[in-house]
Amino acid sequence: MDLFDEHYQKDLAAKAPLADRLRPAALVDYVGQEEIVGPGSLLRQAIENDELPSMILWGPPGSGKTTLARIIAQFTNSFFVEISAVTSGVKDLREIITQATNKRKLNNQRTILFVDEIHRWNKAQQDGLLPLVEKGIITLIGATTENPSFEVIAPLLSRSRVYVLKPLSIPNLQTIIKRALSNSEKGLAEYQAQLDPQAEVFLLQSSNGDARVILNALEIAVKNTNPNSQGKRLVNKKIIAEALQQQTMLYDRAGEEHYNIISALHKSMRGNNPHAAVYWLARMLEAGEDPLYIARRLVRFAAEDVGLADNFAVVLANAIFDACHKLGMPECNVHLTQLVIYLAQAKKSITTYQAYGAAQKDVKELGYLPVPLHLRNAPTKLMKDLNYGKDYKYTPLENSPDQEYFPEELKGRKYYSE
């Protein structure tokens, strides 16, 4: 590194966002995730002994995945490579593989490869890691906000340990805020800033456990608060709200949280709790979910879970689907709320759902049984000659309670009981 590079790196470090400047460099300073890296935990011992397995760090944004990976880099004697799956491709991976292989051959040195956002890599890219992970040439640390069961290929997953990181707790976040305000070297101590109680509560509640959101908003708010006559800056709720711009919603319309929340909505309605159901509805809508997606699911719910106990539920669900299609957001939020409350309070019956499931089972197990001759249509002379429709009783004119409507193999079968 020449003199210009050194100045460049120092300038970058000095002007980096607060969240990056305050990133801990040692386990003793790492906040949260005590179950995973607390004293005595298996992962902590593996880090301290430099005996790491390949692993996937799965957790929400700002929970400490990248920080933990960089702390591991400080402890390990391995060659450490950090890349982002967002910006890297097959060419980068090939270069890393060549480099890792040479390190192993020449120095018997293992390479730790940290892949941030590993779920962004396609199957072919993930496949490329398999032989190296299997032979121990590379120890993989993948970080993802998405469920690795869906986003990481099974062979790679089977060769890795999955560690689940949780959103940081309120005490964790309060510790981070105190460090940021008091750190004179990399933090905000020079501004002599204080958060008023309402501002702190609002910031904590708005962060969704994301340390990065906390620190980025805090830095903007502190720097844009005018000092008083004593040179201190009292940061209020209003400026915190402006710094946040908009509450961060942990919600991915194509990811796991999408399915978690729609599941919570369904189960709240199924459990006759309209209050919880409205909350989960609001979570989806405020995070930008397509109202038509929710409306479609509610039409299904009206038949599957309410069903014959209240036939009007399907009528109302269809009407509100049409209203959502015509109005869109935000106007249709009240229509969806009306439907969610109605469905949550309605009597429930799953008889239609069960009836179809039982019939479906017979179809799959018994195959396509032939239609009895007397139930077949006979539009041609040939069909009549083959006894299609013979002995059929037209029930509006003929009383025929014994007429059979099933194939012989299913005679007497009951799918639905009142």
pLDDT at 189 exceeding the cut of 80: yes
Residue 300's domain comprises 256-345
- How many independent structural domains does the chain possess? 4
Question: What's the pLDDT band for 280 if we cut at 50, 70, 90?
Answer: very high
Domain end (from 220, 244, 268): 244
Contacts of 292 (CB under 8 A, 6+ apart): 321, 324, 325
In angstroms, what CA-CA distances link 222 with 180, 183, 275?
A: 11, 14, 38
The answer as to whether 97 is a domain residue is yes
Same domain as 73, residue 90? yes
State the chain's maximal CA–CA distance in angstroms. Answer: 107
Q: Tell me the per-residue pLDDT of 7-52, one tens digit each, with 9 for 90 and over.
A: 545 554 556 788 888 888 888 889 988 889 888 888 888 888 888 8
Beta strands in 338-405, from DSSP E residues, in sequence order: none
Residue 174 and residue 154 in one domain: no
Residues across the chain: 418
Residues 197 and 153 occupy one common structural domain: no
User: Each residue of 363-411: pLDDT tens digit?
Assistant: 888 888 888 888 888 888 888 888 888 888 878 777 777 888 888 888 8
pLDDT level of residue 251 (50, 70, 90 thresholds):
low
Find the mean pLDDT for residues 335-355: 95
Q: Please state, in angstroms and rounded to a whole number, the distance separating the CA atoms of residues 218 and 177.
A: 8
Domain check: are 156 and 142 in the same one? yes
Which CATH number is 80's domain given? 3.40.50.300
| Terminal Cα distance for the chain, rounded | 81
Side-chain-side CA neighbours of residue 37 (13 Å)? 24
